[in-house]
């Protein structure tokens, strides 16, 4: 029995049974390590050695939480939301125009976070929580919002060669395909990934037009308590907030550090007096608590991934898939995509999956007679599969961090399962289609 299959299956099964994701990751890692021959001590050692890999992201989330609470204190986000609330007040929950406007705004910002302003998930805890009150008044299903955000976080990097997409497509995907023996000169990664990206778009349309088009009710009182719906603001506090947000983004882009960017923004609030010195400690702690769960999941996920790598059975899984394929192109494409899905859901990063699978899948693709463009599409899609739908991926953890500030959005059943069904299944179908037609 392959340790990767056992570990990922156990982790997913426990998560679906509503066992906390951190507990599921730890138990999955230990059982996977035992199956992989590491023993209990070796499994713990590998898990502990990997924890540091998630510490930077966890601290970034904690500081972003503190920054988000400071923004709420200033009233900036609520000033922006008040105009929307006025429209809701006049037209009630039937204001479909405002619903599509808000969903379009969230989608546009998510897409821009991958290329125009490459801040990835940093915008979510700043923008989404203050809009929850408006979204709830409109009775919008948060599962739909999670699908919209995840689409915007994943599709641009797997399709558009700018920002994070330039890193994934050029520096990781094409570079690893070339490294393993296929000439990529003149190949367009955009062309190779166009059909898989179309699968993502189809999944989004199904979620928007069918799965979650109905209305869903949430407790407004819980949102009002968490989101300071009655927060007071003035021109001065709004100006300070605008300066703090701009400075945070500039510093993050300059130093490539969400930690320093969020800290700089929080300091602006403290030095300006919008957040009083005697309140700063409590606000900072409140924000860190808000993001603590997500941070610990990221830390545990890093340990989980390290155990999978230490067993050496990620490569064994890839090798086994190559042995099952034989000479069938159709079966070969399907199995390569399924292995990519399993590996990415366990590791939680498509960027880390491509180098692992390319070493076997590229020569295998050549042997089966796939064109260079089809090989790029297979490896790229296999890497991207699982990013949406993994409990440990920042593409799912990010939306949950914004939508669950009031405790009314479950990470597994309201983010992970919807994004898995609406993106991974179409991506499998369209990725296979691309492999067979390119």
pLDDT in tens, 182-238: 888 888 888 999 999 999 999 999 999 999 988 899 988 887 766 655 556 677 877
| pLDDT tens-place string over residues 306-334 | 888 888 887 777 777 777 777 788 888 89
pLDDT category, 143, cuts 50, 70, 90?
Answer: very high
Q: Is the pLDDT of residue 420 over 90?
A: yes
Residue 290 — very low, low, confident or very high, per pLDDT cuts 50/70/90? low
Q: Decide: pTM greater than 0.75.
A: yes
> What are 421's two structure tokens?
């069904």
Between 414 and 19, name the one with better pLDDT: 414
In angstroms, the CA 118 to CA 40 distance is 41
What is the residue extent of each domain of the chain? 55-165+184-294
State the angle between helix axes of 277-311 and 21-35 in degrees (0 to 180), rounded to the nearest 10. 20
Q: What is the spatial distance between Cα 347 and Cα 351, in angstroms, rounded to a whole number?
A: 10
Give SS3 for 124. Answer: helix
What pLDDT shows up at residue 82? 67
Structure tokens, 138: 């409109």
Average pLDDT, the chain: 82
CA dihedral 135, 140, 143, 145 (to 10 degrees): -50
Radius of gyration over every alpha carbon of the chain, rounded to an integer in angstroms:
22
pLDDT reported for residue 117: 66
What pLDDT sits at residue 233? 67
b/e map 71-104, b = 16+ CB within 10 Å: bbbbbbbbbebeebeebbeeeeeebeebbeebbe
């Amino acid at each position: 029995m392959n340790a990767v299959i056992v570990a990922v299956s156990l982790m997913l099964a426990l998560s679906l049974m509503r066992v906390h994701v951190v507990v599921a990751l730890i138990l999955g890692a230990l059982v996977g390590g035992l199956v992989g021959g590491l023993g209990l001590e070796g499994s713990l050692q590998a898990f502990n050695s990997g924890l540091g890999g998630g510490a930077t992201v966890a601290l970034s989330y904690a500081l972003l939480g503190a920054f988000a609470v400071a923004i709420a204190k200033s009233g900036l986000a609520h000033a922006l939301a008040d105009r929307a609330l006025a429209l809701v007040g006049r037209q009630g929950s039937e204001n479909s125009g405002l619903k599509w406007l808000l969903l379009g705004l969230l989608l546009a910002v998510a897409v821009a976070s991958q290329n125009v302003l490459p801040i990835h998930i940093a915008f979510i805890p700043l923008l989404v929580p203050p809009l929850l009150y408006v979204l709830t008044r409109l009775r919008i299903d948060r599962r739909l919002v999670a699908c919209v955000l995840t689409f915007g976080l994943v599709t641009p990097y797997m399709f558009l060669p700018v920002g994070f997409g330039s890193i994934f497509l050029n520096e990781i995907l094409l570079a690893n395909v070339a490294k393993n023996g296929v000439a990529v000169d003149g190949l367009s990664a955009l062309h190779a990934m166009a059909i898989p990206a179309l699968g993502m778009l189809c999944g989004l349309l199904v979620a928007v037009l069918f799965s979650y088009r109905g209305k869903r009710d949430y407790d407004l009182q819980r949102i009002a308590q968490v989101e300071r719906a009655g927060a007071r603001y003035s021109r001065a506090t709004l100006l300070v907030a605008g300066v703090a947000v701009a400075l945070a983004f500039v510093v993050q882009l300059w130093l490539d550090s969400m930690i320093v960017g969020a800290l700089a923004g929080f300091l602006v609030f403290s030095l300006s007096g919008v957040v009083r010195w005697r309140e700063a400690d409590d606000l900072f702690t409140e924000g860190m608590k808000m993001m603590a769960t997500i941070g610990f999941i990221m830390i545990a996920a890093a340990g989980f991934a390290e155990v999978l790598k230490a067993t050496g059975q990620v490569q064994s899984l890839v090798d086994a898939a190559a042995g099952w394929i034989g000479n069938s192109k159709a079966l070969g494409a399907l199995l390569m995509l399924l292995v990519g899905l399993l590996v990415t859901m366990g590791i939680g990063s498509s960027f880390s999956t491509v180098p692992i699978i390319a070493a076997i899948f590229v020569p295998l693709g050549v042997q089966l007679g796939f064109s260079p463009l089809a090989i790029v599409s297979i490896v790229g899609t296999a890497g991207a599969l699982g990013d949406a739908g993994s409990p440990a991926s920042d593409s799912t953890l990010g939306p949950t961090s914004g939508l669950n500030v009031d405790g009314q959005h479950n990470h597994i059943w309201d983010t992970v399962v919807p994004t898995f069904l609406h993106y991974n299944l179409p991506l499998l179908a369209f990725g296979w289609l691309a492999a067979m037609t390119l």
